Structure 1
Amino acid sequence: MGESSAATVAATLKALSDPLRIRMLSAISTDPRGEACVCDLEALAHVSQPTISHHLKVMRDAGVLESERRGTWVYYSITPSQRAAVTALLDSFTPAAVSPESAETKVIDVDARLDHIAADLQEAHPSLDAQLVAFVVRESYAGLARRATVSTLILPLAEKFARQRLTDLSRDKTLTKPQVLFVCVANAGRSQLAAALVNQRSGGRIVARSAGSTPAGSINPYVRSLVEVIDPDGVNDAFPKPLTDDAVRAADIVITMGCGDVCPIVPGVQYQDWAVGDPALASPQGVEAIRDDIARRVDTLISSLERA
């Protein structure tokens, strides 16, 4: 190898010489879309979005990644000329460098982490049976894992989902705030917008949840940017979640948004259907129009609940 080639290889390896960058590169490489944005990668570690962006920029400057801005989000993908090298690194070098014992430990650690999550949630919900809590945790993990686009995000999201479900199971409707459940197909657009608008415009006086009959692997990026503006404190809970019976039973009102007759009918729960557009089929301007339509409906909903 010549001196110039060696310098180029060394510079690239230096850009990748960080565990988080390797994990991010692996997540982008294995994402079914072939790309990811900061919002997809931030749950890989407890670091800020600017830190994630910095690591992505280092890999982009080294020529390993390329980027494309769409609206408020920047998407990163493997540079076509570097795909063979990235594949060799992740599929050939990594298994050779990581011992079989380490791979086995990783599987055991996932199982142990689920047990740890269940123990923590059992302390938070002492009135619930321990076996029920463990079942909800594992079912939540399995439900998200079936559709996750970045596998490393599943554990923290499963913990949030299970925590929400156990809160719903423990809910006493006579003592708590009104609760609304928005249901659409993918739980990646309109239902997320509606829940964020209720939580923000009601000032916390009403609790809003969302779910999908067939949830997507990730939220629509443009919708996520709108949710981030509407409800910055709740944006980390804006991820697609499967519809569950406990979410329906905990709700005072279930509002469907183009998902058909998938919701179980529970006595004492009100049902409405909102015919609103699908952000997945709309331009950025169309998504904003959908948001405004939902906002008007949300204002009417909040008024009716507060008069009740």
Structure 2
Amino acid sequence: MTTTDGTDTKRADLPLTVRDPDCGPSIETHAIGTEAAGVVASTLKALAEPLRLRMLSFLATAPGGEACVCDLAELTDVSQPTVSHHLKVLRDVGVLASERRGTWVWYRITPGYKAAISTLLESFAPAALDALGPHPHLTGLEDADGALDRLARELTMAHSDLGADVILRTVRESYTALARSAKVSAHLLTLTERFALQRLADLTRDASRGDSTGGAEHAGPPQVLFVCVANAGRSQLAAALVRHYAGDRVVVRSAGSTPAADVHPAVRPELAALGADEPFPKPLTDDAVRAADVVITMGCGDVCPILPGKRYEDWLVGDPALASPAGVAAIRDELDTHVRALLVDLLPDLGLPTP
């Protein structure tokens, strides 16, 4: 090295203990400890996944700082087991806490991580957040405002007991929920009307049940709700089979924890053979669960609600999504056996042979 007077000095001539007087304390004094570094690295590794960051962003901005697992599942098109895996990863490192409260499993960011998550989202991704613009789930809603208002006014005439505000909210929520997975919006308003009508009927049924003397059960026909992940195969087939056998003697609904954009093509011929109306995937709602007497689940994980006093069954039936035509037919036959057993129990006078 060269000294200030221009002479060369070999490094070996300098004492090893000499340090720049302006240099601060040794690195070892201020460096993060090995154990702490390991904990931080594990947490950052858990965060380094796009879907998990979206979940955290959703929770950080949610009213009350919490959301149910059904809301988190709607952020993505992946399967329910995959959603559960990501949530478990965030729970395992302590970023999220979960609690089954009444109907759903609810998630929130743990207090110790709230400030850190806010800093992460606001400091590392401001450009990306600004580029998002309007909430993507509401894309197209601005152009449909007038149509939704007109639909709400029409439905208010038939459901005035629920109140105009409830009906308008139900219509808008139904539109938004269907728009999340819709690939083509040409028939979205028509589907919104069908979905909203179902939801309003469920709200009316639940209200009349709650008003019954002594909490007696609703006097109308039994109501069955079929729930799977995508509402594109199994639950649609099961609902169609119930309608085929029982007609209007059973009110039947189907829903998905993460509804697909459309019904599986291989399932459509089976539904047509059963006389099903034009089917479309629908999201799972609280009002459908509350109005149901029987809830049948088929692989939808922990997003399926648990309400006291409800009859629950879980049918282990294959998913027709990737099945061959012969496989879909086998799944239909298996569902047929389950459905006939259910109807023999619900409507003994229906005259169906015991499976």
Q: TM over 0.5, yes or no?
A: yes
Q: Match of 2:312, SS?
A: strand
Aligned-partner Cα distance in 1 for 2:162–2:186:
29
Match for 1:195 among 239, 243, 246? Answer: 239
2:346 equivalent in structure 1: 305
2 CA distance for matches of 1:109 and 1:275? 42
- Structure 1 segments, 4+ long, off by >4 Å, are 106-109
Answer yes or no: is the 8 Å Cα contact 1:190–1:257 preserved in 2.
Answer: yes
* Match status 1:130 vs 2:149: no
CA contact (8 A) 1:188 1:218 kept: yes
Q: Is the 8 A contact 1:279 1:287 kept in 2?
A: yes
1:220 aligns to what? 264
Q: Which residue of 1 aligns with 2:219?
A: 175
Q: Is the partner of 1:209 in helix, strand or coil?
A: strand
CA RMSD of aligned residues (A): 1.6
Partner of 1:235: 277
Give the aligned residue type for 1:225: P
Q: Return the alpha-carbon distance in structure 1 between the equivalents of residues 187 and 257 of structure 2.
A: 21
Q: Deviations over 1:245-269 (max 9, x none)?
A: 0000000000000111212212221
Number of equivalent positions: 200
How far apart are 1:306 and its partner, in Å?
A: 1.3
2:308 is the alignment partner of 1:292? no
TM-score by length of 1: 0.63
Q: Distance in 1 between matches of 2:329 and 2:314?
A: 20
Partner-residue secondary structure (3-state), 2:255: strand
User: Structure 2 unaligned runs (5+)?
Assistant: 1-139, 209-216, 350-355
Does the 8 Å contact 1:211/1:242 carry over to 2? Answer: yes
Question: Are the equivalent residues in 2 in contact too, given 1:188–1:240 (CA < 8 A)?
Answer: yes
In 2, Cα distance between equivalents of 1:111 and 1:211? 25
Q: Percent identity?
A: 58
Alignment of 1:224-303 (within 5 A): 224-231=268-275, 234-236=276-278, 238-303=279-344
Moved more, 196-205 or 289-298: 196-205
Counterpart of 1:118 (choices 152, 156, 164) is 152
Query: If you compute each CA radius of gyration, which structure gives the higher value, 1 or 2?
Result: 2
**Residue 241 of structure 1, CA deviation:** 0.3
Q: Distance in 1 between matches of 2:331 and 2:344?
A: 20
* Whole-angstrom CA distance in 2 between matches of 1:124 and 1:134: 13
Shift in Å, 1:120: 1.0
Confirm or deny: 8 A CA contact 1:224 1:235 kept in the other structure.
no
Matching of residue 158 in structure 1 with residue 192 in structure 2: yes
Q: Deviations over 1:2-53 (max 9, x none)?
A: xxxxxxxxxxxxxxxxxxxxxxxxxxxxxxxxxxxxxxxxxxxxxxxxxxxx
After TM superposition, the structure 1 = structure 2 runs for residues 18-57 of structure 1, keeping only pairs within 5 Å, are none
* Superposition map of 1:70-109 within 5 A: none
Name the structure 1 match of 2:34: none
Q: CA deviation at 1:202?
A: 1.2
Partners of 2:318 and 2:222 in 1: how far apart?
A: 26
Q: CA deviation at 1:129?
A: 1.4
